[in-house]
Structure 1
Amino acid sequence: METTRIVIIGAGSAGIAAGTRLLQTGFKNVLVLEAENRFGGRVHTIPFGDNVVDLGAQWCHGEKGNAIYQLVKYSNMLQSTGTVYEDYKCVRSNKEVLSEDVTNILKSIIDNMLPSKGNERMKKFEGSLGTYLTEAFWRDLVPEVDKTIAHEYFENYKKFESSIEACDTLFEASARGYLEYWICEGDLLLNWKDKGFRSFLRFLMKSKSDEEDDLGLLNKRIQYNSRVRNIEWQRQSDANVRIHLCNGGIIDTDHVICTVSLGVLKETHHNLFTPALPPAKCRAIDGLKLGTVDKFFLELATPFEPEDWSGFWLLWREEDLLELRTSNYFWLESVFGFYRVSCQPRLLQGWIIGPHARYMETLPEAEVLAALLWLFKKFFTFQVPAPLNFLRTRWYTNPSFRGSYTFRTMYAEELRAGSWDLASPLADEKNGKPSLLFAGEATHTHYYSTVHGAVESGWREAERLTEYYRGHNSQM
């Protein structure tokens, strides 16, 4: 363990979890290569407004069975977000606000139709999540709700649910995959107060301060701006794994733990690995998908009014939607809602998904803001003032990520491929040594798309190497 060389590619949640666990286990020669100039990956906390915002992962989702919650539950780092995402208003594109009675009926239908893990009907269902939910919604719709209103609401709900799944449309998401995703019991929206999700990664690294260069256990072990061009994971000349960096650098090592996002694997795996990855792993990379979910943050001079609105959904009437689709603001169709932000009373946070999010990322920031202000004017009888500051995320156009988080597609079901294929290590043919290992949220069978899934995957690969060397030493 003291002489073994391990290189981890990616200083995100999985990479940090793997690195810290390896060092705590007794490995000494651990290096983390990070393409960006910061640690965190899709956990990205930055100063904004009255303290910080999370551009990526924002909440600790659940308590029971959640590795993150179990680590920090006695540290006073988390608090409940409350009912912000449940108490939203529904506003139509003719400025009409739906009554509480109608909204509550529609919310109740949605809550009752979402399948649980023990759902027998979905266990036998081989279609998409979109097909399942569409059938359930219209089956359960009560006569007292106008069908036009119900249609507008359901169309926006599908965008909201797509943001949770990270799919472009619910009809590409596997219903079986939804059922096999495990939801941790307890509060699903625990926020990190005024410190952001980054505080958890510092906790994991055992940093003693918030100073940028204090990386705790990983001090002097993270090498920034080190994008990898190629990994020779099975060489004819010797048993080393050789890593070629884009800056011309070469690193020889005994093991590589690759934690790059599924989006990066999709784009680069044909050239990233020598020899090429085996067919099962290629099928999983091809079949699974890393969707795009982006955020908007508007810092207002004073808290958003009306004061009793915790958030709002945007329901498009058919005639207004047809007009929107022929305008330069067509991409606003996929902006489904805005909400207040915990510990940030002056912020308004919006969400956008899918192809329209990817298009939005290509626009100048001033143009995006102008479109959002037009949207507010279209829907509200009152004026939303221009914000003091504005920012939007761009997860897809960043070559280090190419998306937000993973979901299981209908195509993956057809291929009989999944995260289990991604997670399997690749061994050297000569000595059976696990040379190339994979971690990251996309490699977790039940907690994909989450930070706790990424953390568990990093621990999994660290423990795989630990067990390998314990077994190796016992045979000597």
Structure 2
Amino acid sequence: IATVPDKEPLSSTHLAPPSVGQYVRTEITRRLAILATCLKLECCISGTHSMDLVALEPFGEYISLPGLDCTFPGGYSRLPERMLSTLPEGTVLLNKAVRTIQWQGSFREEGDNARDYPVRVECEDGDTFLADHVIVTVPLGFLKERHQDFFQPPLPERKAEAIRRLGFGTNNKIFLEFEQPFWEPQQQLIEVVWENESPLEKPSTDLKANWFKKLIGFVVLQPPEQHGHVLCGFIAGKESEYMETLSDAEVLSTMTHVLRTLTGNPLLPTPRSMLRSQWHSTPYTRGSYSYVAVGSSGDDIDILAQPLPEDPKDPRPLQLLFAGEATHRTFYSTTHGALLSGWREAERLNQLLEPSRGSEGQK
């Protein structure tokens, strides 16, 4: 843990406190500063601006998978690429932004009066697709901003309220590449603690002056033979969203200042390159992932996951199905939660179509 004071880094020249009382106060202050950093780490894990926004009672419903994180060689994109490789060419259409999803309708292909469809998907480029069933996997952040006009007719009030109550925040990464490492060969993590902070006090709202203090530290990417000498910083909340509004040069300059301050080396070289995520400003995500906010519960996750129409006796069931990390009650905010929710909705369709498969062969 690197402890960062207000003005200058700690050194061996600091004198011991002269009294027991001063010593106790100093130690309490340091431990509170460490706890403040721990809460920032939890903000990154939960994808929230503040842990004051996260509901306590359902917090324990989240389940962590055992074992280490899995890093895909070549990045996350290799996972969908592998899935696409098993599908016929042209099955998946990219860069087809959807404007609206019309459901509970009766739509027909031009020239075909023998068959109608309950769902019509209209794209921003004017193309349309008719369907019996649509699985909606857009992020909760997008639903929060667009669900009123994205679905026609609008979603039932029960589902709209669940979307409103659930939390959705931002957690970004900042990658810094160096010519040579300034950290120890076996070092895995550099945590940053600001000595003047306490979880008992409200944090500063001056984002321009203090946004970088929300940074929890850096993970050392391993192995260097594969990644080079790279640190990956994590920052969440409003400060993370403010970071997205800055230029690359401004972020790089600030990160250099932070590292020079915590190492006490004013001559520490500037990183040779920087890469950062910008999840909040991306229009189709508007953040990173969900959390169960104060005023919501795991029941809201289940409500969001329920297919439409709500009436199980509707003659045209499962017109809209919902998947994505925000629809998994115990694995929300994770990639595996998103993947499992997609399998869940696919199986829901399989169960619906199974009788017709037996009587009609393939459908």
Q: TM-score range by the shorter chain?
A: 0.7 to 0.9
Aligned with residue 357 of structure 1, among 240, 249, 253: 240
Give the Cα separation in 1 of the matches to 2:252 and 2:103: 46
The letter for the 2-side match of 1:369 is L
1:272 CA displacement: 0.4
Number of residue pairs matched? 331
| Correspondence list, 1:411-450, <5 A | 411-413=295-297, 417-427=299-309, 431-450=315-334
Question: Against the structure 1 CA distance between its residues 348 and 251, is the aligned structure 2 distance closer, same or farther, given a 3 Å change threshold?
Answer: same
Give the Cα separation in 1 of the matches to 2:70 and 2:207: 39
The equivalent residue for 1:336 is: 216
The equivalent residue for 1:275 is: 153
Are the aligned partners of 1:90 and 1:97 in contact in 2 as well (CA < 8 Å)? Answer: no
Are the aligned partners of 2:207 and 2:242 in contact in 1 as well (CA < 8 Å)? Answer: no
- Does structure 1 residue 92 correspond to structure 2 residue 33? no
The C-alpha deviation readout for 1:381-427, integer Å capped at 9, x for no partner, is: 124311221111100000011111111111213xx842101111003
Give the root-mean-square deviation of aligned CA atoms. Answer: 2.8
Question: Against the structure 1 CA distance between its residues 434 and 153, is the aligned structure 2 distance closer, same or farther, given a 3 Å change threshold?
Answer: same
The equivalent residue for 1:410 is: 294
Are the aligned partners of 2:3 and 2:195 in contact in 1 as well (CA < 8 Å)? Answer: no
The equivalent residue for 2:168 is: 290
1:246 CA displacement: 0.9
| Correspondence list, 1:94-109, <5 A | 94-96=8-10
Aligned with residue 190 of structure 1, among 47, 55, 70: 70
Aligned with residue 392 of structure 1, among 261, 276, 283: 276
The equivalent residue for 1:221 is: 91
The equivalent residue for 2:31 is: 150
The equivalent residue for 2:79 is: 200
Are the aligned partners of 1:304 and 1:348 in contact in 2 as well (CA < 8 Å)? Answer: no
TM-score (norm 2): 0.83
| Correspondence list, 1:29-40, <5 A | none
In structure 1, the gaps of 5 or more residues are: 1-88, 99-142, 208-215
Question: Against the structure 1 CA distance between its residues 97 and 420, is the aligned structure 2 distance closer, same or farther, given a 3 Å change threshold?
Answer: farther
Are the aligned partners of 1:239 and 1:428 in contact in 2 as well (CA < 8 Å)? Answer: no
Are the aligned partners of 2:309 and 2:317 in contact in 1 as well (CA < 8 Å)? Answer: yes
Question: Against the structure 1 CA distance between its residues 189 and 473, is the aligned structure 2 distance closer, same or farther, given a 3 Å change threshold?
Answer: closer
Are the aligned partners of 1:314 and 1:337 in contact in 2 as well (CA < 8 Å)? Answer: yes
Secondary structure of the residue aligned to 1:394 is: coil
Question: Against the structure 1 CA distance between its residues 97 and 460, is the aligned structure 2 distance closer, same or farther, given a 3 Å change threshold?
Answer: farther
Question: Against the structure 1 CA distance between its residues 356 and 459, is the aligned structure 2 distance closer, same or farther, given a 3 Å change threshold?
Answer: same
Are the aligned partners of 1:166 and 1:405 in contact in 2 as well (CA < 8 Å)? Answer: yes
Are the aligned partners of 2:106 and 2:119 in contact in 1 as well (CA < 8 Å)? Answer: no
The letter for the 2-side match of 1:195 is G
1:371 CA displacement: 1.1
The C-alpha deviation readout for 1:20-59, integer Å capped at 9, x for no partner, is: xxxxxxxxxxxxxxxxxxxxxxxxxxxxxxxxxxxxxxxx
1:328 CA displacement: 3.8
The letter for the 2-side match of 1:158 is L
Are the aligned partners of 2:252 and 2:271 in contact in 1 as well (CA < 8 Å)? Answer: no
Give the Cα separation in 1 of the matches to 2:136 and 2:163: 14
1:322 CA displacement: 11
Question: Against the structure 1 CA distance between its residues 319 and 353, is the aligned structure 2 distance closer, same or farther, given a 3 Å change threshold?
Answer: closer
Question: Against the structure 1 CA distance between its residues 322 and 437, is the aligned structure 2 distance closer, same or farther, given a 3 Å change threshold?
Answer: closer
In structure 2, the gaps of 5 or more residues are: 13-23, 108-115
1:354 CA displacement: 0.1
Give the Cα separation in 2 of the matches to 1:322 and 1:167: 16
